[in-house]
Amino acid sequence: MRYPQFRQYLQDNGLAWQEENKVSGHFEWHYAAELTSPVESTVEYYLAERSIHYMDEFRKRDKPFFFSLNFWGPHEPYIAPTRFLELYRDTELEPWPNFYDDRADKPSIHNIKKSNTKEWTDFVPYIKHYYASMSSIDEQIGRLIAYLKQHDLYDNTIIIFSADHGESLGIHGGLCEKSYFMYEKTCRFR
């Protein structure tokens, strides 16, 4: 764990980072795991908690303020809390329509980065961890919105969501991460 403030938060609150049930399949370096410690031990929870602290400080000034929060995720590795993985454990995921794309009709540069695997079953647990990671972040965003509403700040707040890129999750023949092919699924803005 590279973040000293987060490590200190865990220690101060008697929390531990307990990562289990690692999923790697046939991937080169991508992996996912289950966080069996409480949700309060997630980076997302910590960031929301710190955000609430700072918003409390800004609110005392009784002036408009700007606040920016970067959850950074979901990002590999997908370490998802058990509670959120439970939401997706029994979910059946069919292969994406382009999962079996051999990229033969694509420019030659698309074959520089080879697919990690051709087996859809290798991607399913990985994708479920991604979804669970998203749900974990969603819950923390909900906490922040509840805070804004509780303190009568919500109606006078502009919330902007942005991301640096999407995630391949097995598109076009089993690609991982964002890759460098600029497929719409990894760079589309809505």
In a domain, 39, yes or no: yes
| pLDDT reported for residue 2 | 75
Burial class (CB in 10 A: 0-12, 13-18, 19+), 179: middle
Please state, in angstroms and rounded to a whole number, the distance separating the CA atoms of residues 74 and 78.
7
In a domain, 171, yes or no: no
Please state, in angstroms and rounded to a whole number, the distance separating the CA atoms of residues 8 and 132.
25
In a domain, 21, yes or no: yes
Work out whether strand 32-35 and strand 19-23 pair parallel, antiparallel, or are unpaired: antiparallel
For 43-79, the pLDDT digits (tens) are: 999 999 999 999 999 999 989 999 999 998 888 888 9
Residue 149: both structure tokens together = 């509403």
Q: What is the CATH number of the domain that holds 135?
A: 3.40.720.10
In a domain, 113, yes or no: no
In a domain, 151, yes or no: yes
- Per-residue confidence band for 23, with pLDDT thresholds at 50, 70 and 90: confident
Burial class (CB in 10 A: 0-12, 13-18, 19+), 156: exposed
Q: Mean pLDDT throughout 1-11?
A: 89
In a domain, 143, yes or no: yes
- Per-residue confidence band for 172, with pLDDT thresholds at 50, 70 and 90: confident
In a domain, 89, yes or no: yes
* Containing structural domain, residue 30: 4-96+118-165
What mean pLDDT value characterizes the chain?
Answer: 86
Amino acid present at 25? G
Q: How many domains does the chain have?
A: 1
